[in-house]
Structures are given as C-alpha cells and as structure tokens.
Amino acid sequence: QVTVRDALNQALDEELERDERVFLLGEEVAQYDGAYKISRGLWKKYGDKRVIDTPISEMGFAGIAVGAAMAGLRPVCEFMTFNFSMQAIDQVINSAAKTCYMSAGSIAVPIVFRGPNGASAGVAAQHSQCFAAWYGHCPGLKVVSPWNSEDAKGLLKASIRDDNPVVLLENELLYGVPFEMSEQAQSKDFVIPIGKAKIEKQGTHVTLVSHSRPVGHCLEAAAVLAKEGVECEVINLRTIRPMDIETVEASVVKTNHLVTVEGGWPQFGVGAEICARIMEGPAFNYLDAPAVRVTGADVPMPYAKILEDNCIPQVKDIIFAVKKTLNI
C-alpha cells in the first residue's frame, strides 16, 4: 500500500530524474520539503536549480513558470492550495492556456499547475472551493483530478510529459490515505492517459459518476446499496477536461439511471456538464428517470464542523439520491 502523498513524490522524483528540463517551484517546496511533504527529499537530491522555493507571490512565480515553459523547460508549479491560484488566474488562463492557439501552434506551454483543491477540514470559505468547473471551463487547459494513489502517480507523470498546460487538482484529505498500488503502477514507465475515465465498480442498476475524494464516498454508498440489492456502477472520471463522456454514455445505456457526485457548487458544475452532455447525446433515450446531481451546498463554506459536514456530499446523500432516481 502507498499513500497518495508518496505516489505524488515518486512521480515527481522519477520525472525530475528522467528529464532535466523538469523543475519544481512554489512556496516551501525545497528546504521545508513542501507544505504537505509532497516534495520530501527532492531538494536534497536535485539541488537549487531543480527544486525552487519562491516568495509568497502566486502571480509572480506562476508567471516565471509559464515563461520558462515557453522557453522550453517543463515546470511543475505548486500552489499551496488552489484557492491561492486565483492570485495567478491571469497567468494560468490568459498566458498558459491561450498561447498555443494564439501562436498558431508555434509556442507550446508544457506546464503543470498542481496542489490541493476543494474542501479540506475547518479552513472556512476562502480555502474550500473546488476549481474543477472553473478550470474545466477554459479551452487550452487540460484538467485532471485523481482519486487514489495510482491515479495520482499516473496522472502526474502524464501531465508532466504533456505538451499542454495541465491543471492537476489533488485533495488534501487524501494525501495521507494509503491505497493498493499494482506492480505495474510502481514502474517508472507507468502513466495514465489523460482523458480516460475508469470504471471502479461494475453495476447494472444505476451509474454513479464522480472525481477526486467523492469517488471513495460513491464506493462506500455502492457497498451499502449492494446489501439492499442495488448494484451501482461507479465511474472515476480522472479527467475533467477533456471529459470521457463515452464511458459515461456506455454505462447509462446499460443502467438507465445517472447520479453525478462532486464536492463543488451546483451551478455550472461538473455534474451539470455531464447531465447536459448525456441529454444532448444518444444515451438520453436510455434514461428511465431524470439524472440527479449530488453536489456541495450552494453557500460559502462555513467554518463550524457540523455545518461543514452538511455542505459536503456524504455517503447518506448519495444513497438518498440513488433511491430517489430508482424510485425506491
């Protein structure tokens, strides 16, 4: 078993070793080993040129990273939390995402923006947004959202090797969680293709689609529902943009029911996009009930724990939504 933290550390270590153009920069990534210890040991191993501590200025160091990418390097830019990427959103969207298109393909921007995304625990409204829908909205970016250790390692390696700007949305509450990792995933050549969802559990009655930490909640809900004779198919999106809608469609054709689950807000969310795409496509004719969204509450995140719990989708909310769509 390997924790998500160690899987990300392995991926960074392997890619820094494999390609000398790769470097890591951000607040406290070097001497302190990273705010979440993701970059533990890398500064000692690779030195000041490859692992760089920056001042507390997201706009500044994101801009340096984007310029370095345009000049042929492959930066990995860590935000201490994606909430702070709002300080650098001009660099991410106007500089990184649009340059390849605006230069008619002559300037690539191979950069990875990574860090924890979504609600953590007790950090209140300004540190609890999910940015999957925000960045997933923007052409020119790829957006990935890993759940387990295998996702984290395979998607980070694929993101670093990709010639496009990639936003990698991790989850702080998953960093210390250990997951089984296959022998194949331990190899230095292991990558997960960007844009491909994974069916985590086969089922026949209802399709559950999720990304990041709520995938685990979906599997827990599926285990409870299985005891009541309801077989859920659980899909781990892995990638927000480009979205693998084909896997979702094929599942809906099989189960005839759809529930989406996410930690972000409901309006214009990832679930809203999935529902729209299913409605517009061939799978719509197979739905036996309206698709149901389970999302975070439509409020700024409260600080009090009991209110926070009520704002974040829980296993019981998923079970309720499944029973509602199946009319049981």
Amino acid at the residue 314: Q
How far, in Å, CA of 328 to CA of 322, rounded? 9
Q: Is the Cβ–Cβ distance between 117 and 127 less than 8 Å?
A: no
Q: What is the CA radius of gyration of the chain?
A: 20
Q: Which of 146, 209, 208, 167 is nearest to 3 (CA)?
A: 146
Omega of the bond prior to 242 within 30 degrees of 0, cis? yes
- Residue 217 annotated among the catalytic residues of the structure: no
How far, in Å, CA of 225 to CA of 277, rounded? 27
- Residue 58 annotated among the catalytic residues of the structure: yes
Among 127, 205, 211, 257, the one annotated catalytic: 127
Following DSSP, what letter does each residue of 162-203 receive, concatenated? -SS-EEEEE-GGGTT-EE---TGGGSTT----TT--EEEE--
N-terminal to C-terminal alpha carbon distance within the chain: 38
Q: Which of 260, 159, 166 is nearest to 211 (CA)?
A: 260
Among 15, 27, 58, 308, the one annotated catalytic: 58
Consecutive H or E run containing 315: helix 315-326
Q: Which of 221, 204, 191, 217 is nearest to 18 (CA)?
A: 191
Task: Tokens for 328, please give them.
Answer: 């049981």
Q: Is the Cβ–Cβ distance between 25 and 78 less than 8 Å?
A: yes
Q: Are strands 239-241 and 142-144 parallel, antiparallel or unpaired?
A: antiparallel
Q: Is the Cβ–Cβ distance between 132 and 169 less than 8 Å?
A: yes
Coil, helix or strand at residue 142:
strand
Active site residue ranges = 58, 127
